[in-house]
Each structure stands twice: as C-alpha cells, then as structure tokens.
Chain A
Amino acid sequence: MRNIVLSTLLALSVSTSISYAQSTWTGGDDLPTNPLACDATPATAAAKPYDGGQPTNAPDRKGKTLTVVDVPKLVGIGYFNATSKGIADAAKEMGNMNAKTDGPSKANIDDQITLIDNYITSGVDGILFAANDPVAIAPVLKKALAAGINVVGYDANSTPDARQWFVNQAEFNGIAKAMIDSAAAEIGEDGAFAIVTSTFTTPNQARWISEMEAYQAKCHPKMKWLETVEAQEDNILSFNQSNTLINKYGDELKGILGMTSVATPAAADAVTQAGKCGKIAVVGLATPNAMKPYVSADCVKSVVLWNPVDLGYAAAYVLRAVADGTLAPGGTTVKAGKLGDLSVINGSEILLGAPTVFTKENINNFDF
C-alpha cells in the first residue's frame, strides 16, 4: 500500500533528524562571561569612563514639564505593565512630567523602531525604552539624540552610545548567581535541571543563560544541565513544554528554571498538575502576582526578580535628572525619589540593586 511507503518516508525524515541530535545547546549567547564568586564576595568592578551618548543641541529643560514616551519591548504582559506603572507613579510624584506608554503588541524589532521614529517626529522631550534588540534599535535612538531628545533605557539595553543612561535592574551575573544558587539549594549539588526560555534570540535571556552556565560550571560543577526549550511569550506553550520535559526525564528531572515571567508560572502549573510538587523544584524569574497561588501552595519556594515597578520608577527619575542636568557624564550617584541614591556602574549604567527573592513570607507584600 502506498500509505505504508509514505509513512516510512515520514518516519525516515524523523530519524534523520535524530542524527542532528547530540550537539549540545543551551540557548546562551557567545559573549564573554564574568561569573561572580561562589560565596557572597561582591564583584570588584573596574571603574569605566562614561560611554553613553549625548543629545545634540538639547534645549534647557531644567525644571520644565517634560513630555515623555515609554516604549517597552511589548505591551500586554504583566512585567511591562508593572514598569509602566512605576513610570506613571514617578511622573505623578514629580508633577512635572507627562509620561505615556506605547509599545508594539508583539516583541517585534520593526514595530518598536517605527513607534520610536514616530515619537521623535512628534517632538517628545524624553524617550524611555526597553530594547528588543540592542543593535537594531541603535540607529533610531541615535536619531533621537541627534534631535535633542533625552534617551534613557531600562530592562534591556541598547549599544551604549545610542542612549545616555541605562537603568540596570540587576547585573547579568548577579541574576545568574541568584538563579543557580536557589536551584542548587532546592535540588542539591548533583541535581539535574532543564530550562524554559522565551526564544534563543532574546538578548537578556541568552545573556543570563550564558552567565548561569559559567557560574554553574565554576561553583556547582556537579549539577547536570539537561536542556533548554523555547516557549515564546506564550503561557500555554510554556505549560506544554514543561510537561514534555517532566515526561521525558521522569525522576531524573529535579528542577525547572523559568527564564521569563510567562514561563515560570506556567512551569509551576505543569508541576502542580503533574502532582510533582516537592519532587520537582521550580525556580525562576517571575512577577509575584502570577506566582502567589504556587508559592502559597508550597509548590514553589523562591521566585527571583527585581521589582519592575521600582525599575520603571527609577528610569523616570533618571530621565528627569538627565534633563535637569543633575546627572551628567562622570556622575557617580543619582537621586531616585523614595529609592534614595542609586549608584552608577559600568560607565553609563545605573544599578537598581540586587534582585529580590520572593518567598512565602514576603510575597503577599507585593502587588504587581
């Protein structure tokens, strides 16, 4: 029968794909890594000169009301709702900033560039952005600087010379250390784990994974890295992918690490529904609201994240300080309202602080 021939053909194409198999892949990028010390020794950062850009012929905006647009990677996910709330809070507090958030409905570099371009034409005073791609966004940001607009990034950086300052939520190696240390504490030094990420092309996630790989090799060498799967920014797909991992590795799998605020709750749900709470640990980056059910059910012990509301809040204050001239190249600290003084690192970045680890005790104190 012809059908048998055809299905043999299909089966063959599957088996050829198996031959692709054994190469290792992790989903990290190929940039150099800089793992932190295994104990709590803080990293000694070499002082770097200011490497950000400068707007040309920016008018004197000191004390004047600023029109600001915030362009996140995409609108419609909890994380950027929180940053946008932080920006709005700060704007309200300062009283002399009109901020609005407008972003692409998909994490799409082209839509984001077009939006920023339009806002340059419409003549805003300041742009806050979270880049979908650090290089692709650079030309349009440079155009903004050339038009005299103040440009400050948060969450996801661009190339340094395309913006003035970048508010860094936490350093990549800091996140990596928090993730791997939490995982090691829950699954043991010789536990095996898998990762659910968004896509391999998302710069932040790829960077974290590389740093995690380096830190794990250095400080927890016996942990076993099983594999990394992609799940877009889609919670049902994240759920299905987590299930597949659970089914594939059986008892070997001790932990799932979620790299996005979409993947982590979905992974927790998969573990819950599989009845594996306590047997498979879920560690990941996530917003507390989405994780409350799993944390209070004792299925998830710790959630790693900075406070995105604070991140947006700090970004708005940095933009204000830049426009007022109180934060100039060479500055070492900046005042950010209720957050106090934040310090400058890496030349032109402002560090929000160490990531917060949410647990059953404190998670109900946060609402974002």
Chain B
Amino acid sequence: MTVKSIFRHETLLALLLVAVLIVLSFQSDRFFTVSNLLNQGRLMTEIGLIAIAMTFVIATGGIDLSVGSILGLTAILTGVFWQNVGMPLAVAACAAIAVGSFAGFCNGLIITRFNVPPLIATLATLALYRGLAEGISQARSVRGYPEWFYVLGQGEVLGVPTQLWILLLAAVLASIILAYTRWGRTVYAIGSNEVASRFSGLSVEHTKLALYTASGFAAALAGVIFVSRVSTTRSDMGTGIELDAITAVVLGGTSIFGGRGTILGTVIGLCLIQALKNGLSLAGVKGDGTIMLIGAVLILAILASNLFERSGTR
C-alpha cells in the first residue's frame, strides 16, 4: 500500500466537503459565519472524540458498539459520585472517566482473553453497560452543578468552545500516534493480517487491550462533556451514538475490515456530516430529509472511492 493510495479517499472527501460548504453557504447566508461554524464544532465534539478512538479500533479490524452505553454510564456516575457519594465534582468526573475506561478495558479483556469477536462482545456490553446506567440512576437525574463545571460544555476559551480545543488536541495526538509511531504501525498490521502480526512478534493482545480501553476513555470523556453541555444526567444519554461515530469513520475512508484508515479522513467525515446536518437545516430542509441525504452520501462516497481504486488491491 503506497502513501498515494492512502490519501486518495481523503482527497476526494476533502473536495466533497469544500463543494458542500460552498453550496450550503449559497443556500443560507447564516451558514458560513465564524460563530455558526464554531458552534457546530461544539455540537460535534462528543461524536468526534468517540469517532477518533473508533478509527483505531476499526483499523485493527474490530468494532466497539458499546461506546454509547459507556457514555451514558459515565454521565450517570458523574452525577451519582458527586451528589450521592459526596465526592468533589472534579474528583467525581475523573472517577467516572476511570470507570468508563475500565468498561472499555473489560471489552478488551473479553475480546482478547476469551477470543470473542469484537462485534459480539460489545453488543453484549452495550446492553450490560446501559443496564447498569439505568439501574444505578434509578431513573433519577442529577442536576444543579456548580457554575465552573459548565465551562467545559458551554464555555469558551480564547473565543473557541472549550470542548473544541479538546477535540483538536485529541485529533492531532491521534494522527501523530497512528501515522508516525511504531504503535500506530502495529494497529495497521493487526488490521491487515492479525496472524502474521502475531508471528512477527507484535504484541497484538496488549495493543488491542489498550485500544478498547482508549475507546472507553474517549466515550467516558465525551460523557462528562455532554453532561456539562446539557447540565443534567440521564441514563439514556448517548443512545445510538455508536452508529453516528461509525458512519463518520467509514465515511472517512477507514476500511471496516481493518488495515486502512486515517484520523484526517475521520475528521473530514465528521465535518461533512455536521455541515450537512446544519447547512441543510438552515436551508429549510427538515431533519428526516437530512438523514436520508447523509445515508446517500455515505454510500456514494465509498462507491466513488471504490471506483477510483478499481485498479488497486481490493
């Protein structure tokens, strides 16, 4: 696989994004404004964080369907640790994130130690973690957080939404790790051929365990940001977010069979979906029309990129 073939899909997608941005800004003069675009960044942070971690997971040929449930569990725990257990809020949020990461670690453990395929393992924990969130919360919401906590989800730093900085930082770090480190190459190697990676001495199990833990951590972090953005906790938070994140990742060119994919592609995919959602709404298209269009774009983008690569390996 050459560098050229890796970037082909991303280039195509970036061109599509530019085209969409131009068309949408002609549809509504309120679309291409700094404040609107920054606000969209705020709205896509939670999916973005999850999608970035998901890129690694999918690049190894795995998948993590339990992220939405981990998000919900973390949200509930943040509230319960703070209000019912009486921890200071900062400690409570960190503890909740730790539990969320541990939930991801458990996914990894089930997948590596028991050899359960990732889709099945995380399908089971999707039900389990959501169930725990419901059981722990007893359907109660925790509200009334101190003002400083809202800085994370509703505030700004240097004129940019706080959480967008986190997303940017995560994206840059993840790109560097995936593209330039030995660890990143291990991820691709596992995705391309797991058995061969194992025989060539790569620590397949440890890498996978770390990835699913990271995926849990990203979902947990997104959970705390979500709580701060909407100022309450509910056990049904994040339901269905896994499909949104996966859509962004595969739209970004990551192969669902593993071995291929970039963070840049995922970020462009995310921006494209968010731009469509927002821009079409501003142009007067209803929500259901937008959903349909995003579905069509997903299929067509992958189709187009396949056609360009027909001569290639796949």
Interface residue ranges, A against B (CB under 8 Å): 25, 27, 29-30, 75, 100, 102-106, 108-111, 113-115, 117-119, 121-123, 133, 135-139, 199-201, 206
Output the nearest chain A residue to B141 by Cβ-Cβ distance. Answer: A135
Per the bound structure, the CA–CA distance linking A104 and B244 in Å amounts to: 15
Q: Are A139 and B287 in contact (CB under 8 A)?
A: no
Closest-CB distance, B35 to chain A (whole angstroms):
8
Number of interface residues of B (CB under 8 A): 34
Pair A103/B36 contact, Cβ less than 8 Å: no
By the criterion CB–CB under 8 Å, are A201 and B235 in contact? yes
Closest chain B residue to A23, Cβ basis: B138
Cβ of B240 and Cβ of A136 under 8 Å apart?
no
Interface string of B275-304 (1 = CB under 8 A from A): 001100110101110010000000000000
Q: Pick from B28, B39, B140, B286: contact of A122, CB below 8 A.
A: B28
Query: From residue B53, how far is it (CB to closest CB) to chain A in Å?
Result: 19
Alpha-carbon distance A75/B232, docked complex (angstroms): 24
Report the nearest A residue to B150, measured CB to CB: A139
Bound CA–CA A280/B200 (angstroms): 69
B13 within 8 A of A: no
Does B43 sit at the interface, judged by CB under 8 A? yes
Tell me if B305 counts as interface (CB < 8 A to partner A). no
Minimum C-beta distance from B37 to chain A (A): 10
Q: Is B175 in the interface zone, CB < 8 Å from A?
A: no
Q: Which residues of B contact A105 (CB under 8 A)?
A: 287-288, 291
Contact yes or no, B287 A201, CB < 8 A: no
Known: A105-B288, A122-B28. A136 touches B232 (CB 8 A): yes
A133 and B30 form a contact (CB under 8 A): no
Task: Verify B282–A121 contact, CB threshold 8 A.
Answer: yes
From the candidates B39, B138, B238, name the one contacting A121 in the complex (CB within 8 A): B39
A123: chain B residues within 8 A (beta carbon): 30
Structural contact, A139 and B154, CB atoms closer than 8 A = yes
A-B CB contact pairs (8 Å), 17 listed: A25-B138, A27-B139, A102-B287, A109-B236, A110-B238, A113-B230, A115-B287, A117-B43, A118-B277, A121-B30, A121-B39, A122-B30, A136-B230, A139-B229, A139-B231, A201-B137, A201-B139
CA of A138 to CA of B39 in the docked complex: distance in angstroms? Answer: 17
Instruction: Name which residue of chain B comes closest to A135, CB basis.
Output: B232
Report the separation of the CA atoms of residues A319 and B310 in the bound assembly, to the nearest whole angstrom: 57
Q: Chain B residues near A111 (CB, 8 Å)?
A: 287
Q: B239: CB under 8 A from chain A?
A: yes
Question: Least Cβ distance of A265 to chain B in Å?
Answer: 24
Whether B281 pairs with A115 at a CB distance below 8 angstroms is yes
Q: Which of A108, A133, A135 contacts B240 (CB 8 A)?
A: A108
Q: Pick from B277, B278, B288: contact of A75, CB below 8 A.
A: B288
Given contact pairs A122-B281, A201-B141, enumerate 17 new A-B contacts (beta carbons under 8 Å): A27-B139, A102-B281, A102-B286, A103-B287, A109-B230, A109-B236, A110-B238, A114-B277, A117-B43, A118-B277, A121-B30, A133-B232, A136-B231, A138-B231, A139-B229, A199-B236, A206-B139
Within 8 A of A (CB), among B27-52: 28, 30, 36, 39, 43
- Taking CB atoms, residues of chain B closer than 8 Å to A104 are 287
Q: How far is the CB of B256 from chain A (nearest CB, A)?
A: 24
CB-defined contacts of B288 to chain A, threshold 8 Å = 75, 105
Contact in complex: B230, A121 (CB < 8 Å): no
Across the interface, B281 reaches (CB within 8 A) one of A109, A119, A138, A199, namely: A119
Chain A residues positioned under 8 Å from B287 (CB to CB)? 75, 102-105, 111, 115
B28 contacts across to A, CB distance below 8 A: 122
Q: How far is the CA of A280 from the CA of B30 in the complex (A)?
A: 57
B237 on interface, CB distance cutoff 8 Å? yes
Residue B198, interface by CB 8 Å: no
Chain A residues whose CB sits within 8 angstroms of the CB of B185 once the complex forms: none
Residues of A within 8 A of B231 (CB): 135-136, 138-139
Q: Point out the residues of chain A lying under 8 angstroms from B226, CB to CB.
A: 110
Across the two chains, which residue of chain B brings its CB closest to A28?
Answer: B139
Query: Are A201 and B236 CB-contacts (below 8 A) given A113-B230, A139-B230?
Result: yes
CB contact between B239 and one of A25, A108, A137 (< 8 Å): that residue? A108
> How far apart are A104's CB and chain B's nearest CB, in angstroms?
7
A137-B240 Cα distance, complex, nearest whole Å: 19
With A139-B154, A139-B229, A201-B236: A114-B141 Cβ-Cβ less than 8 Å: no
CA–CA, A141 to B286, complex, Å? 20
Closest residue on chain A to residue B279 by CB atoms: A118
Which residues 190-231 of B have a CB within 8 angstroms of A? Answer: 226, 229-231
Residue of B nearest to A108 (CB): B239
Give chain A residues whose Cβ lies under 8 Å from the Cβ of B260.
none
Q: Which of B232, B239, B286 has the most chain A CB within a 10 Å cutoff?
A: B232
Measured CB to CB, the nearest residue on chain A to B140 is A30
Q: Is B9's beta carbon under 8 Å from chain A?
A: no
- Chain A residues lying within 8 Å of B8, measured Cβ to Cβ, are none
Q: How far is the CA of A27 from the CA of B297 in the complex (A)?
A: 42
Question: Which 10 pairs across A and B sit closest by C-beta, in order of nearness?
Answer: A200-B139, A136-B230, A135-B232, A118-B281, A122-B282, A102-B286, A135-B143, A136-B232, A201-B139, A121-B36
User: Which residues of B in the span 109-156 have a Cβ within 8 Å of any Cβ on A?
Assistant: 134, 137-141, 143, 154
Residues of B within 8 A of A138 (CB): 231
- Which of B30, B234, B284 meets A109, CB within 8 Å? B234
Asked if B39 and A117 make an inter-chain contact with CB atoms under 8 angstroms apart, the answer reads yes
When C-beta atoms are compared, the residue in chain A nearest to B154 turns out to be A139
Contact A135 B236 (CB under 8 A): no
Give which listed residue, B43, B141, B240, B282, contacts A106 with CB less than 8 A: B240
Whole-angstrom distance between the Cβ of B84 and the nearest chain A Cβ: 12
Q: In the complex, are the beta carbons of A201 and B234 less than 8 A apart? A: yes
Given contacts A27-B139, A136-B231, A138-B231, contact A118 B236 (CB under 8 A): no
Please give, as numbers and ranges, the residues of chain A lying within 8 Å of B230 by CB-CB distance: 109-110, 113, 133, 135-137, 139
